[in-house]
């Protein structure tokens, strides 16, 4: 059970007032707020155990190094990786995808080889591949989606050719809330001998993720979207792949020995962590993962599903409302995606806790600005998914995205706010 009132006490920013209204923060898909436990863990490290990691024999450096490696173990456990050697700290999802695109293309792809992405990807899972298309002449192929924003798995299967070398898709769409059938996507790719990268930016904060159960080859996420700090994220990679791929960046930490004639590289995961790592960020991320683990990812998924369902049921009734993404009939039931838990039980999670919408002809920017005047923070625009906007034939949407600290009363405030703004047009 999520005790939302007690959870809210951990997030001081939720007490903020905006234009005289209590803040209703519904922009969690962009970034989440941070609990005291995360901020205090980082402050404590700066105050008491700060030193550069890996290089020192002195006490503080040893402590800081131990903390970094302990954080790596916390991440490993959280996504159920087989080994800490498979956990690479990055700046975030974007850097993780760039790392894979760059190192994988360098090693495994030739001009004319193909990568498969989907029509609902964030720019960070499109542009890194396009950069490789320019540099190496690889080809980017796109899995089409239905008008409701569901991946066409049959069409996906048809995209495979002997030149397909990697598949890279989002677990959950940051615009549509679609939960993609990534286990099937991975199985189909593996049937063709092709590895898969999963962008978990919008899944890891909202549901239990088990990279081994999924059999993902690569999986990445950002700390700041899961109640952790900015500037830290994770790339999980199966050992066999990380061993095979060349380093992404050169510098300190990632080397074995260096001479002007020849340099050897460090063991995993350090081969991919050039320079001083964001070790304080890793401490904050570990504190965040412990925070959500203590509540329980299954409980969080169920609570957010309740919020989302409550919101959809009311929003669908607003005249002129158009909701994007998989939506069946929220009056009776909503799309049910069964999420299998690590213990084998299942939780009903209709879709991701993201609702993109438009009302009548009201421009998303106008409505977003007026909602802000009521203290309601939603995102407006193309959500870094312009190709998806083109597919849907729109310029942008409003997006409300929920987190574990949101309440049913905040959903009511959103619905009342939308109605009030709509009545002004």
Return residues touching ligand PMP (CB under 6 A).
92-94, 122, 124, 170, 174, 199, 201-202, 222, 384
**Spatial CB neighbours of 343, under 8 Å, sequence gap ≥ 6:** none
CB of 398 to ligand PMP, least distance (A): 16
Which residues are bridge partners to 179 per DSSP?
A: 172
Our answer to whether residue 384 is catalytic in this structure is yes
Max CA distance (Å), the chain = 72
Beta carbon nearer to ligand PMP, 101 or 370: 101
Of 105, 220, 337, 384, which is the active-site residue?
A: 384
Cβ closer to ligand PMP: 94 or 132? Answer: 94
SS3 content of the chain, % helix, strand, coil (to 5): 40, 20, 40
Q: Which is nearer to ligand PMP, 71 or 266 (CB)?
A: 71
Q: How far is the CB of 201 from ligand PMP (least distance, A)?
A: 4
Residue nearer to ligand PMP on the CB measure, 33 or 124: 124
Exposed (0-12), middle (13-18) or buried (19+): which is 26, by Cβ within 10 Å?
buried
Residue 328, SS3 per DSSP: coil
Four-point Cα dihedral 348, 118, 198, 100, nearest 10 = -170
Nearer to ligand PMP, 99 or 362 (CB): 99
CB atoms within 10 A of CB 214: 20
Give the shortest CB-250-to-ligand PMP separation in angstroms: 22
> What's the gap between Cα 352 and its chain centre?
11
Within 8 A by CB and 6+ apart from 354, the residues are 29, 172, 173, 174, 175, 176, 177, 202, 325, 399, 400, 401, 402
Q: How far apart are CA 381 and CA 142, in angstroms?
A: 22
Shortest distance in whole angstroms from residue 86 CB to ligand PMP: 20
Shortest distance (Å) from residue 38 CB to ligand PMP: 16
Active site residues: 384
């Amino acid at each position: 059970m999520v005790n939302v009132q007690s959870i809210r006490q951990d997030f001081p920013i939720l007490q903020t007032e905006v234009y005289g209204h209590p803040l209703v923060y519904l922009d969690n898909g962009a970034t989440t707020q941070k609990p005291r436990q995360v901020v205090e863990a980082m402050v404590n490290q700066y105050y008491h155990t700060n030193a550069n990691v890996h290089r020192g024999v002195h006490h503080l450096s040893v402590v800081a190094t131990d903390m970094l490696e302990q954080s790596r173990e916390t991440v490993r456990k959280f996504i159920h990786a087989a080994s800490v050697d498979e956990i690479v700290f990055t700046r975030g999802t974007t850097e993780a995808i760039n790392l894979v695109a760059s190192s994988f293309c360098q090693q495994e792809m030739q001009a004319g080889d193909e990568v498969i992405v989907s029509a609902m990807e964030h720019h960070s899972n499109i542009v890194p591949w396009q950069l490789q298309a320019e540099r190496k002449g690889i080809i980017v192929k796109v899995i089409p989606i239905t008008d409701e924003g569901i991946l066409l798995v049959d069409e996906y299967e048809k995209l495979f050719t002997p030149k397909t070398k990697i598949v890279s898709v989002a677990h959950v769409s940051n615009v549509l809330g679609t939960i993609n059938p990534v286990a099937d996507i991975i199985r189909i790719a593996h049937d063709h001998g092709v590895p898969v990268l999963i962008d978990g930016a919008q899944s890891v904060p909202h549901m239990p993720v088990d990279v081994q159960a999924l059999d993902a080859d690569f999986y990445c996420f950002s700390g700041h979207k899961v109640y952790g700090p900015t500037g830290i994220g994770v790339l999980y990679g199966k050992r066999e792949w990380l061993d095979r791929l060349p380093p992404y960046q050169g510098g300190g930490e990632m080397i074995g020995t260096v001479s002007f004639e020849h340099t050897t590289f460090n063991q995993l995961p350090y081969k991919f962590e050039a320079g001083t790592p964001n070790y304080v960020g890793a401490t904050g991320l570990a504190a965040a993962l412990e925070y959500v683990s203590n509540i329980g990812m299954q409980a969080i998924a169920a609570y957010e599903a309740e919020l989302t369902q409550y919101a959809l049921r009311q929003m669908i009734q607003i005249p002129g409302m158009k909701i994007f993404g998989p939506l069946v009939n929220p009056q009776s039931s909503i799309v049910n995606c069964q999420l299998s838990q690590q213990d084998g039980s299942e939780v009903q999670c209709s879709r991701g806790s993201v609702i993109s919408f438009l009302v009548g002809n009201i421009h998303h920017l106008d409505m977003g600005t007026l909602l802000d005047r009521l203290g309601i923070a939603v995102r407006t625009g193309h959500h870094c998914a312009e190709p998806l906007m083109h597919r849907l034939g729109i310029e942008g949407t409003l997006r409300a995205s929920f987190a574990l600290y949101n309440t049913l009363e905040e959903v009511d405030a959103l619905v009342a706010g939308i109605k009030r703004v709509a009545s002004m047009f």
